[in-house]
Structure 1
Amino acid sequence: MTLRVYLFVFKSRGYIHIVNIFNQMSSDGVTKYKYEYIIVGAGTAGQTIAAGLPSKDVLILEAGGYTTSLLDIPILTPILQKSDFDWSYETVPQPNSCLGLRQQRSRWPMGKGYGGSQILNNMIWNVGHHEDYRGWFSPEEDYNYERDILPYFRESEAEHQPTILKHRTKLAEAFMNATKEYGYDDSFKVPHLTQRNGKRWNMAHENHENNLSHHLVLNAFVMHLLFDRTSINRVTGLVYEKNGFEFEILATKGVILSAGAIGTPLILLSSGIGPKKELINTTVTFRKDLPVGHNLQDHVTTGLDLILLNDTLGMRPWEVFTLNSFYQYFVNGDGPLTMNGCEVVGFLNSTNKSKNWDLGFMVLPIGASADAGIHFKQILNIKDNTWSQYFDPLTSQQSVSILPILLHPKSRGQITLKDDVILIDPKYLTHEDDVDLIVTGIRIIEQLIEMPSMRRLGAELNPKPFPGCENYEFASNAYWKCYVRHLTLTAFHPVGTCKMGSSDDQSSVVNREFQVIGIENLFVVDASVMPNLPSGNPNAAVAMLAKKFLSVLLQSHREKPTNYDI
């Protein structure tokens, strides 16, 4: 079985690499040197903005290439990590966390291709809690969810048309029943996904089907912005590299950065926009002192292979990749290949100290051990000895992962530029409250697996002590704190590195009209502008932000039309 899995992964990665080689050979390029708008990034935000801009004179630059329909098979999502369609970012070593990972570094996958991170995310559509967005577009005391937020979610939801997860295992029903047996009513649900007929779907598919007429250049890496020679505070265009050549392109009405929570601050820092005390020590020409890269936040989780069952769920690789599964997928748009990896999500307020949720949960019907260490071990960056001692013995067992998620961490990280290299330091678990809350989530999971519905599946905690935590009493608070610091995992939701707020807020990079503060013609619309993490998966919030930006831009055009001549 292990050999079959290895061959499948090897052939898939080879196929992906061939697809990217053909992408690199494509000869697409700009047809002129000046456009009204330039959008950087063809992900959720960039694609939404491109479809709604009041102009057809738009250039979209994307650092990656096209994927193929085979890569729209949801179950293949992990294969895309560490492939040519992944930026494959890594954090700097974490002194207080990630102790069970190689060099104590967390790997951060991020989409590099037409569709952005939506080509490799879990497709979950969740708008979060209404309190998540207080203060985003208006002062906190003036916040009105129905006025400020809800209309834009409704617009984006109508566009994405999320549908409920089609394929579920017996674990989903058992866990949902267990939550009700414990006393939770509507806190746990089967997720809605951005799928069409069981296939991965995103705004890139929509724009392609609608023959969006904007000019698109793929495999174009944006190096830095260009500024007006007579006004250092007005952006006139940018420089990008493609196939070893550099090109200068002008924008008469605006450059819109939608390159994500890592890519966008990298472009700003490389253009001299960022913390002065950091940039003056680089080779970059300093232009504007703003806290670019600060306020980094991420949903932190743990719990891989935390639960063992005495029943099989049919989701291990050799059980999924069968002729019948492919028939179900390609003929009926159903079956295990449509699975995104998560079949139940939950959100709780564990303390009742605020109006908002503080803990999330994801139920995965497999563990990291499911592929015998061929791929999951690599993309999660798990240490060899940790794998051999803890995960490898589970290869022949049915393990599942019920993940507690820290929704609103108190720890804050930072992205910096050093020697032209981006350094990502999320500072995971530097605030002790973050550790305590994740342990609270584990305690809730302990209670839920004791419910009759989960007991019927033979659910139990994995009794194997986690490597590095053997000296603590198993399942004690001290043990779980050690466990969390060793198996510290990203939920792949970094945000906040170009915080949005009022123009006089010293912690803000972007104002509430999405303009980089003090810089004309430059806008940021992506997860980097989020002042705080939404409770749910950020993709829906990114789509909402793009709709809000279009509304702001249209209003601005009506009030004061711009007609710059560069």
Structure 2
Amino acid sequence: MLQHLINPLVLGALTALASSLITMTAYRTVTLEQDQVVDFIVVGSGSAGSVVASRLSENPNWEVLVLEAGGQPPPESKVPAFAAYAIGADSEYNYNYIIAPQRHALLNFRNQESFFPRGKVIGGTSAINYMIFIRGNRKDFDTWAEMGNTGWDYDSIMPLYMKMENYKGKHAKKYAKYHSQTGPLSVESMRWDSPFTKYFKAAGKELGLEEVDFNSEKHVGYNAPDLTTNNGERQSASDAYLKPNLHRSNLRLQAGSLVTKVIIDRNLRAIGVEYIRDGKMRRAFARKEVILSAGAIDSPKLLLLSGIGPKQQLRTHGIHPIVDLKGVGQNLQDHVALPGLTWFITKNSGNAVQLILTPEARRAYRTKRNGPLSVPMGFVGIYMVNLGVDPDPSVQDVQYRFLSVTLGADFGLVVAPNYGYTDELIRDYVKKQGGRRGFMIFMGVMRPASRGSVTLRSKNPLDPPVIDPNFLSNSADVDSLLKSIRYVMVLGNTTALREGLGAKFFDQKVLGCKHLAHDSDDYWRCYIRHMAGSGAHPSSTCKMAPSSDPDGVVSPRLKVRGVAGLRVIDASIMPLITGTNLAAPTMMIGEKGASLIKEDWSYGD
């Protein structure tokens, strides 16, 4: 329980430090009358919802209301280096969801559960994530189209990425055809090179990888990723799309409003929502459409609470089925991630925790918005690699994040407990890394084979849903991670890292696997099942599909099957998860969804 006492102290210190570095400007919010009537209700102000609401309000004749469960973002959310703590458990800015006990994974996690971060704040998860902006591979979107989702191929969605982006990064000249400077979303290159950067790059070159722009056609290679920052400060989707437009009389944002149900009339049309604000149940009504942009966890939860979903599940919880739609909450996909592979070093600089606490770091950020506080803590760069899981060599199977920080850099006080690791694992493995200089290579399987679900815990809307990613239930994911480990061991042993940094692998065995020979396949398979967890990239729980697919939830125009006036526009509509971080694709889905609505209501861009 110690971590639950420490988190408030850490966050309090970060808030104080952040407040000394930046000036926060609050969002303009409203308090609605009961039974307010507008044209469009958007549920959620996150990566998709902010985009949808802003674009719809471009028509001055449409009244648009955004209902957000959370409140104003905290100062620490704006400083990129504090992302690891802004995203942490026990925060009022987070739903603090817990993954259900896993049968095949999380064996070194408390109760075989883990924390599952989802933003409960204006900006949603885009206000607490790592700000990585990578669009996705051409094959991701072309596959969606091949599955029957017309209009979602790469060539069709690429203009939407250009429309959203105000690019300020280093690739503007060499990769000009892939970037735009006219959109609302600021995208920057990382504004600071770590002391580790040159070794990170040299190791990539040594392995034959190319330095690429991950937002071009090339995805296999290495580089520091672009970030959704503006002058070194986080720019959430709501910062980019909502805040600059809340002066419009037809766009309103009401915070502290937890939507609990979609109101559906006898003609099977969505006409409004019920929500809780200040402890009271309220309603708002939509003349045209209700749009769920609550994310891949809460959008299916809302559909289920509204009587849309598998009828047997609904009846089990005493909910009258309105539309029997078996795909709601199914098909959950997440990038299974594996932290903990650590190398200690004997040369060059110290760890990232120490770097961000120096007076020099504060001065650099305050005066120039650069230095170690201007990037996610410890972030050096990304390797994207094809290991043969996908036969197309241009498609990345795995993403490696090179971090100049170890799992035990804070002596097991916050980061490891927030992952959910047991106290025994922290004492036996994590704390033995504490205080030592080193780096960690964090890997994620980009195209997981395992599928999970989001289901109701009860019909009480205040109860969290049951989130079961079913991690590693398909052994192909274990095989992929094993290949990833074999590759990363070669990477960690490159001359660039071994001689340049004096890198030496931390080879202590983890609990539960000590009986197995170190570096054997059996040991690493055991390590994977004990240490791998969530990449915090949920998707695909309201699958987009043509009518011929019985598991589909929304049409390619994002309309919910069987109910008029209701759409889902967020990461839940992905039929297959994209092979990269989800922030950029989710904002693109917001742009696409808004365009579809405008087309359907005969209003052009």
Q: TM-score scaled by structure 1?
A: 0.92
Find the counterpart in structure 1 of residue 409 from structure 2.
Answer: 370
Residue 405 of structure 1 pairs with residue 444 of structure 2: yes
Contact 1:501–1:531 (8 Å) recurs in 2: yes
C-alpha distance in 1 between matches for 2:124 and 2:358: 29
Contact 1:91–1:105 (8 Å) recurs in 2: yes
Q: Report the 3-state secondary structure (helix = DSSP H, G, I; strand = E; otherwise coil) of the residue aligned with 1:100.
A: coil
| 1:190-212 deviation digits (Å, cap 9, x = unpaired) | 11000011110123223313444
Find the counterpart in structure 1 of residue 187 from structure 2.
Answer: 162
Contact 1:75–1:336 (8 Å) recurs in 2: yes
Of the candidates 366, 379, 393, which is equivalent to residue 330 of structure 1? 366
1:140, distance to aligned residue in structure 2 (A)? 5.4
C-alpha distance in 2 between matches for 1:106 and 1:527: 21
Residue 343 of structure 1 pairs with residue 380 of structure 2: yes
* CA gap 1:473/1:453 in 2 versus in 1, 3 angstroms: same
Find the counterpart in structure 1 of residue 203 from structure 2.
Answer: 178
Listed as ranges, the gaps of 5+ residues in structure 2 are 20-25, 166-182, 212-220
C-alpha distance in 1 between matches for 2:11 and 2:450: 38
| 1:79-119 deviation digits (Å, cap 9, x = unpaired) | 22221101111111111101111011121111111111011
Contact 1:135–1:143 (8 Å) recurs in 2: no
2:164 aligned partner, one-letter code:
S
| 1:169-228 deviation digits (Å, cap 9, x = unpaired) | 232321221111121224111110000111101232233134442111101001111111
C-alpha distance in 2 between matches for 1:14 and 1:344: 27
Find the counterpart in structure 2 of residue 96 from structure 1.
Answer: 104
Residue 260 of structure 1 pairs with residue 303 of structure 2: no
C-alpha distance in 1 between matches for 2:571 and 2:54: 19
C-alpha distance in 1 between matches for 2:198 and 2:247: 42
C-alpha distance in 2 between matches for 1:502 and 1:375: 45
| 1:115-140 deviation digits (Å, cap 9, x = unpaired) | 11011101000011100112435655
1:559, distance to aligned residue in structure 2 (A)? 9.1
Residue 354 of structure 1 pairs with residue 360 of structure 2: no
Moved more, 488-497 or 348-357: 348-357
Find the counterpart in structure 1 of residue 236 from structure 2.
Answer: 202
1:142, distance to aligned residue in structure 2 (A)? 7.2
Q: Give 1:18-97 correspondences, 5 Å limit.
A: 28-30=31-33, 33-53=36-56, 54=59, 55-80=61-86, 81-82=88-89, 83-97=91-105
Listed as ranges, the gaps of 5+ residues in structure 1 are 561-566
1:458, distance to aligned residue in structure 2 (A)? 1.5
1:7, distance to aligned residue in structure 2 (A)? 9.0
Residue 505 of structure 1 pairs with residue 530 of structure 2: no
Residue 217 of structure 1 pairs with residue 254 of structure 2: yes
C-alpha distance in 2 between matches for 1:181 and 1:227: 60
* CA gap 1:330/1:8 in 2 versus in 1, 3 angstroms: farther
* CA gap 1:210/1:553 in 2 versus in 1, 3 angstroms: closer
* CA gap 1:419/1:237 in 2 versus in 1, 3 angstroms: same
Moved more, 200-209 or 242-251: 200-209
2:196 aligned partner, one-letter code:
L
Of the candidates 299, 310, 318, which is equivalent to residue 283 of structure 1? 318
Of the candidates 112, 115, 120, which is equivalent to residue 120 of structure 2? 112
Contact 1:36–1:57 (8 Å) recurs in 2: yes
Of the candidates 417, 438, 447, which is equivalent to residue 490 of structure 2? 447
Find the counterpart in structure 2 of residue 544 from structure 1.
Answer: 588
| 1:2-38 deviation digits (Å, cap 9, x = unpaired) | 9xx989615247879x9xxxx9xx9833476211000
2:136 aligned partner, one-letter code:
G
C-alpha distance in 2 between matches for 1:252 and 1:382: 48
C-alpha distance in 2 between matches for 1:199 and 1:121: 13
* CA gap 1:343/1:140 in 2 versus in 1, 3 angstroms: farther
C-alpha distance in 2 between matches for 1:139 and 1:318: 49
2:70 aligned partner, one-letter code:
G
Residue 247 of structure 1 pairs with residue 282 of structure 2: yes
C-alpha distance in 1 between matches for 2:66 and 2:340: 38
Of the candidates 295, 302, 307, which is equivalent to residue 331 of structure 2? 295
Contact 1:168–1:339 (8 Å) recurs in 2: no
Q: Give 1:483-494 correspondences, 5 Å limit.
A: 483-494=527-538
C-alpha distance in 2 between matches for 1:6 and 1:349: 38
1:490, distance to aligned residue in structure 2 (A)? 1.4
Find the counterpart in structure 2 of residue 564 from structure 1.
Answer: none
Identity among equivalent pairs (%):
28
Q: Report the 3-state secondary structure (helix = DSSP H, G, I; strand = E; otherwise coil) of the residue aligned with 2:205.
A: helix
Contact 1:40–1:257 (8 Å) recurs in 2: yes
Q: Report the 3-state secondary structure (helix = DSSP H, G, I; strand = E; otherwise coil) of the residue aligned with 1:370.
A: coil
1:439 aligned partner, one-letter code:
L
Q: Report the 3-state secondary structure (helix = DSSP H, G, I; strand = E; otherwise coil) of the residue aligned with 2:330.
A: coil
Q: Report the 3-state secondary structure (helix = DSSP H, G, I; strand = E; otherwise coil) of the residue aligned with 1:440.
A: helix
Contact 2:200–2:380 (8 Å) recurs in 1: no
* CA gap 1:40/1:137 in 2 versus in 1, 3 angstroms: farther
Q: Report the 3-state secondary structure (helix = DSSP H, G, I; strand = E; otherwise coil) of the residue aligned with 1:439.
A: helix
Q: Report the 3-state secondary structure (helix = DSSP H, G, I; strand = E; otherwise coil) of the residue aligned with 1:154.
A: helix
C-alpha distance in 2 between matches for 1:42 and 1:119: 10
* CA gap 1:139/1:401 in 2 versus in 1, 3 angstroms: same
Q: Alpha carbon RMSD of aligned pairs, Å? A: 2.4
C-alpha distance in 1 between matches for 2:260 and 2:503: 51
| 1:510-531 deviation digits (Å, cap 9, x = unpaired) | 1100100111000100011111
C-alpha distance in 1 between matches for 2:373 and 2:337: 25
Contact 2:332–2:469 (8 Å) recurs in 1: yes
* CA gap 1:15/1:217 in 2 versus in 1, 3 angstroms: farther
1:252, distance to aligned residue in structure 2 (A)? 0.7
Find the counterpart in structure 2 of residue 274 from structure 1.
Answer: 309
Q: TM-score scaled by structure 2?
A: 0.86
C-alpha distance in 2 between matches for 1:392 and 1:430: 30
Contact 2:15–2:75 (8 Å) recurs in 1: no
C-alpha distance in 2 between matches for 1:514 and 1:6: 39
Residue 479 of structure 1 pairs with residue 523 of structure 2: yes
Moved more, 210-219 or 33-42: 210-219
| 1:423-479 deviation digits (Å, cap 9, x = unpaired) | 010000011110011111111111112211111211222111111111111111111
1:311, distance to aligned residue in structure 2 (A)? 3.2
C-alpha distance in 2 between matches for 1:510 and 1:15: 44
* CA gap 1:212/1:499 in 2 versus in 1, 3 angstroms: farther
Q: Report the 3-state secondary structure (helix = DSSP H, G, I; strand = E; otherwise coil) of the residue aligned with 1:164.
A: coil
Of the candidates 457, 463, 470, which is equivalent to residue 514 of structure 2? 470
Residue 226 of structure 1 pairs with residue 263 of structure 2: yes
Q: Report the 3-state secondary structure (helix = DSSP H, G, I; strand = E; otherwise coil) of the residue aligned with 2:602.
A: helix
Q: Report the 3-state secondary structure (helix = DSSP H, G, I; strand = E; otherwise coil) of the residue aligned with 2:412.
A: coil
Contact 1:73–1:200 (8 Å) recurs in 2: yes
Q: Report the 3-state secondary structure (helix = DSSP H, G, I; strand = E; otherwise coil) of the residue aligned with 1:248.
A: strand
